Structure 1
Amino acid sequence: MESLLHFAGNFWWLIFPLGGAIGGGVRAVVAANERRAQRRLERYRIKQQTKIALAEASGRSRDNDAANRREMAKVMQRHDGVDARWLSYEIDVAKLLDFPLMTDMRDPLTIAFHKARSHADLLRPDTVDDILGDRSAQLEYRDAVHDYVAAFDVAEAEAIRRRRSDFSADDQDRLDRAQRLLRLASDGGATHEERRSAYARAQKELDGLIVLPAATRASIERRIAGEIEA
């Protein structure tokens, strides 16, 4: 004890540099602890921000999928709508012969309509789910249907405007006769032979004027309920 007191009495001046060093060491330890705490808080903040960002991205993705699903459903409905409008010509021979431009593949507007129809049919998915994960395919199909609708509108408007004006008076008479014969061919009250004969005569009247679509011919032949070869 006396030795310690003797040392302290003789070397009391060391208290100041040692105290400074000890104090500096303590402050360094405290600062290091504070930095570690700050880094932990920063890591926690980053993790929380990442979780929030992922949740928001997931929500946006679900919202986008829902919006895209609605859009594609509407596009497919438009596709069905214009298909139905075209079908009304295919199954109504009288209407088809009133507006022969709709099947005249020599006319650029008719060609454009049928090309657009084929392209839209090619890109159409079986269901919305089949195309939902591919935005590029969705946009391509949407644009194809838009082109199909526009091409049909233009072709139909021109067909209505021109009606049979491109045909001579004699050719228009032939179209009238073909209409009457095709009605008879589709008449369930006529005999089988009458219907077969009417269909054959109608084809002769139309020869060189217009070509009936394959679906139209098939429909008439089914109504005749015979075994006429296409």
Structure 2
Amino acid sequence: MEPLFTFLASYWWLAFPAFGLLAAAGNGWERRARRRHRQKLEILKAQGELKAAQSTTPGPAQVAAASTPPAPETVDDESPAAQLEKLFAAHDDVTHRWLEYELDVAKLIAFPAMSDGRQPLTAAFLRAKRVADNLRPAEASTKVGRERLVEYREAVTDYEVAFDLAERDARRIKDSTFSSVERKRLDTAQQLLSVAVDQAATPAERQIAYKRVREELDGLISLSDEAVDRLEKKVALEITPGTPRPPHVPDPDTPAS
């Protein structure tokens, strides 16, 4: 034992590099996990852009490369029903976040790319949504095999990532893809929309503003039937008792005197 103590006494400073190596190993694992996550995001983004570019005249080699499935993920030890419950929750959460844009005209005006299937990342998200919706079992108690469960798990993951990419891109570009004239129409529609849903305005004032909103958005943003129905219900609300009414609908194109 004496030689060992002598060695430790002489080379005690080696403990510091050893601790450093252990810390570096832990940090390295965390960096690799983050790097794998970033790579997955980048791969999906590239696939979305590639598929959008190939939608006109794809070649056989391009189709094969774009349709290569990702490496399967391992399924944990939970029961299939428990796993499906979690996947359903994740699936529904993304759908709810998407509907916040799809059914909210104000958000669509602010971030029009979320409803524009011509945008590569939006198109990739819509495709991922179709895949996840088609693979979703009817209910958690449905008997599914391991392969089908893994396939649905991967589809939900792709759906989540694709939405995050599309949302991030839509918030980045906003209305930059429109001309200056079109951006002015969007601004006008946004201002009129605030009047159309203002319960302090009269029904006639709200109806006039609503019609102007539809006119300004015509040819710029495609509104779903559900979004139009929700907006019309807001426009049709009665005046809140005790709330003062503005005398008229302000015209955004008229400068203040």
Provide closer, same or farther for how the CA distance between residues 137 and 90 of structure 1 changes in structure 2, counting only shifts above 3 A. same
Provide closer, same or farther for how the CA distance between residues 121 and 184 of structure 1 changes in structure 2, counting only shifts above 3 A. farther
Cα shift at 1:82: 0.8
Is 1:165 paired with 2:180?
no
CA–CA distance in structure 2, aligned partners of residues 137 and 193 of structure 1? 55
Cα shift at 1:145: 1.3
Is 1:106 paired with 2:106?
no
Contact 1:109/1:154, CA 8 A, preserved across alignment: yes
Cα shift at 1:98: 1.3
Map of 1:66-215 to 2, 5 A cutoff? 66-130=78-142, 132-215=143-226
Contact 2:182/2:220, CA 8 A, preserved across alignment: yes
Cα shift at 1:188: 2.9
CA–CA distance in structure 2, aligned partners of residues 136 and 196 of structure 1? 54
Provide closer, same or farther for how the CA distance between residues 101 and 150 of structure 1 changes in structure 2, counting only shifts above 3 A. same
Cα shift at 1:199: 1.7
Q: TM-score, normalised by structure 2?
A: 0.57
Contact 1:103/1:213, CA 8 A, preserved across alignment: no
Map of 1:212-227 to 2, 5 A cutoff? 212-225=223-236
CA–CA distance in structure 1, aligned partners of residues 201 and 151 of structure 2? 49
CA–CA distance in structure 1, aligned partners of residues 193 and 138 of structure 2? 35
CA–CA distance in structure 2, aligned partners of residues 126 and 181 of structure 1? 42
Unmatched tracts of structure 2, length 5 or more: 1-75, 238-257
Q: TM-score, normalised by structure 1?
A: 0.63
From the two aligned structures, give the one with the greater helix fraction. Answer: 1
Cα shift at 1:157: 1.2
Q: Percent identity among equivalent residues? A: 46
2:40 paired residue number: none
CA–CA distance in structure 2, aligned partners of residues 113 and 218 of structure 1? 24
Cα shift at 1:91: 3.7
Contact 1:120/1:148, CA 8 A, preserved across alignment: yes
What whole-Å deviation, never above 9, does each CA across 1:81-129 have from its counterpart, x for those lacking one?
A: 1112112213432222111110112222212212221232233234210
CA–CA distance in structure 1, aligned partners of residues 161 and 187 of structure 2? 30
Contact 2:82/2:140, CA 8 A, preserved across alignment: no
Cα shift at 1:140: 2.6
1:14 paired residue number: none
What whole-Å deviation, never above 9, does each CA across 1:162-200 have from its counterpart, x for those lacking one?
A: 111112222111111111222222233332222222222
Provide closer, same or farther for how the CA distance between residues 138 and 156 of structure 1 changes in structure 2, counting only shifts above 3 A. same
CA–CA distance in structure 1, aligned partners of residues 93 and 196 of structure 2? 29
The letter for the 2-side match of 1:160 is R
CA–CA distance in structure 2, aligned partners of residues 174 and 117 of structure 1? 31
Pairwise CA RMSD: 2.2
Contact 1:186/1:223, CA 8 A, preserved across alignment: yes
Count of residues in correspondence between the two structures: 162
Deviates most, 172-181 or 215-224: 215-224
CA–CA distance in structure 2, aligned partners of residues 87 and 151 of structure 1? 15
Contact 1:91/1:219, CA 8 A, preserved across alignment: yes
Larger Rg: 1
